[in-house]
Amino acid sequence: MLRYRLTHPTILAALASAGHGSRVLISDGHYPHTTGAHPAAERVYLNLSPDRMLVTEVLDALVDAIPIEAAAVMTPPEQPGQPEPAVFAEFRAALPGRTLDGLDRFAFYDAARGPDTALVIATGDRRTYANLLLTIGVRAD
């Protein structure tokens, strides 16, 4: 029996076939899931209805199951006085000790379309800019 909370069989299989340096995209409901990631990436659609599942709920399950080396977010265009998306604080809380690398929309798409993206998890999260690209790290023995 598994010791962590993640039990989704397709996600587990994709993570088992991925390795150090592979990427996992957890995307909000606005993301172009079909064209915005590498064609060979496994896709899991958890976007059953609006705000089901949330990106942060998926992240909580993944943090428990895999080592995370790096995380990148899609940043909105800079506008004076515009605060960063509130979800970024939730990402930081779930990833203590990790910085969030900010990428503009098109740089984020380019990164997600790279051959290292092994898994795309589509959520129904309606928060804008709630996209997170994780890089799998090395498991500590």
Residue extents of the structural domains in the chain: 9-136
Q: What is the CA radius of gyration of the chain?
A: 14
Instruction: Write down the pLDDT at residue 4.
Output: 82
Q: Report how far apart, in Å, the C-alpha atoms of 90 and of each of 73, 93, 96, 132, 138 are.
A: 12, 5, 10, 11, 24
Residue 105, Cβ density class (10 Å: 0-12 exposed, 13-18 middle, ≥19 buried): middle
According to DSSP, the β-strands at 23-27 and 132-136 are antiparallel
Q: Report how far apart, in Å, the C-alpha atoms of 126 and of each of 28, 30, 54, 93 are.
A: 6, 7, 8, 20
Instruction: Write down the pLDDT at residue 1.
Output: 53
Which distant-in-sequence residues (6+ apart) come within 8 Å of 110 by Cβ?
none
Instruction: Write down the pLDDT at residue 16.
Output: 94
9-136: CATH topology: RbsD-like fold (3.40.1650)
* Residue-by-residue pLDDT tens, the chain, 141 positions: 577 889 999 999 999 999 999 999 999 999 999 999 999 999 999 999 999 999 999 999 999 999 999 999 999 998 888 899 999 999 999 999 999 999 999 999 999 999 999 999 999 999 999 999 999 999 877
